[in-house]
Amino acid sequence: MSRDDYLANSRAAGIYMQTFTRERQGGFSETARESSPRKGWNGEGVDEAHDVAMSLWHYTDEHFLNCRIPEDYGSPEAFASALQSFRGWLIRVRDQLQEIMDQAGDRIALTVPITFNHVKDTLFATDETLQQLAEAGKELPGGVAAVFGAAPTPMEKVQEIANRFPSVVARMRTRRSTRPPLEIADEYDVQYLFQALLGVPFLDVRPEEPTPSVAGGAGRADTLLKPERIVVEYKCTRHNLEAKELRKQIADDFLLYGAQAECDRLFVFVYDPVQKLENPEGFEDDLTRTIDGLDEVRIAVRR
C-alpha cells in the first residue's frame, strides 16, 4: 500500500466518525439540555447522567464534528491519538452509568439509560473508526504501529506540558499595566496550573484523588489520569528545601504509587524557580529508574 492509499483510507475513517457525530449531535444536545436536574427529573443518577450528557455533547462538537485529515487533524496518527483518549473516557462513564443502573433498579432516573445509550453508541463508532485506521495502516512498513505508535504516548503528552510550563508561567507574568502579574508562589500554584494544562489533551483529569493505605499511611494523588493510569505529582523548590529532602519526598512517592492498583505510571514534575538544584539533569537521571509495581517513571525538573 502506498502512502497516498493509506492517507485516502484514513480520510475515509475520519469521514465515518464525522458523519456519526453530525447525525447524532442533535440528540446529544437535546439530551444535555433536557436531562438537567432543574427540569424536575427524579430518581437515582440524575446529576451523573446530566454531567456525562453535557461532556459528550460539548466534546464531540469541539473535536469530532469535523474530522478531516489534514484540515482538522494534521495526520492519521494525531487523529488516532485523539480517538484513543476519548475512548478511555467513554469506557469510564459507560461503566459508571451501568453501575448506577444496576444498583438503582426501579429507582433509576429515565435520563440515565438515555445517556447510557448515547455513550454506548459513541463508543461503537469510536472503535469502528479506530479499526478502520488500523486497517488502513497495516500494510505500511511497521504495520499498525506506524499509525498508533507514531502518535505521542500519554506520558509524552505530560512531558510536553512539563517542557512548556516555564514559558506559560513567563507569559502569565506579562499582563496589562493595570493588572498585577500572575505568579507561581508554591506547590499548590504549580498543581493548579499544571492540572489546567492537562485538561487540553486529557478528558478525565482528577485532582486530589484519594489513595489506599500503604505501610500504615494514606494520602491523595496530586493528579490522577485514570483512563491512562498515570499519577502526576508536583514539587516546587524553595530556599529552605534541600535536595536531600526533595529526593526523600520522591522516594516516598515511589513506595506509595508502586503499591497502587489504579496506576501503572508516575510522572513527577519538579518546578525549580529558585534554582535550588545545581544539576537538574543529574537529578532527573538519578531518580528516573525502574520501580516495582510501575511500568514507567519520569522525573522532569524545569525552571
The DSSP string of 105-174 is GGGB-THHHHHHHHHHHHHHHHHHHHHHHHHHHTTSTTTTHHHHTTSPPHHHHHHHHHHHHHHHHHHHH-
Domains of the chain and CATH, by start = 3-148 (1.20.120.230), 154-302 (3.40.1350)
Residues 147-164, mean pLDDT to the nearest whole number: 80
Residue 90's Cβ-count burial label (10 Å; 0-12, 13-18, 19+) is: buried
This prediction has a pTM of 0.56
Q: Which pLDDT score, from 0 to 100, does residue 180 have?
A: 82
Q: Alpha-carbon distance 131 to 10, whole Å?
A: 10
Task: Name the nearest CA neighbour of 115 among 159, 52, 55, 58.
Answer: 52
Instruction: Convert the pLDDT of each residue in 15-68 to its tens digit.
Output: 999 999 999 999 999 999 999 999 888 888 999 999 999 999 999 999 999 999
Q: Which pLDDT score, from 0 to 100, does residue 260 have?
A: 80
The DSSP string of 65-98 is S---TTTTSSSHHHHHHHHHHHHHHHHHHHHHHH
Q: Alpha-carbon distance 139 to 160, whole Å?
A: 30
Report DSSP state, residue 52: H
Higher model confidence: residue 63 or residue 256?
Answer: 63
Residue type, 85: S
Q: For residue 178, is pLDDT > 70?
A: yes
Average pLDDT of the chain is 87
| Three cell numbers, residue 32 | 444535555
Q: For residue 7, is pLDDT > 70?
A: yes
Q: Which pLDDT score, from 0 to 100, does residue 215 have?
A: 43
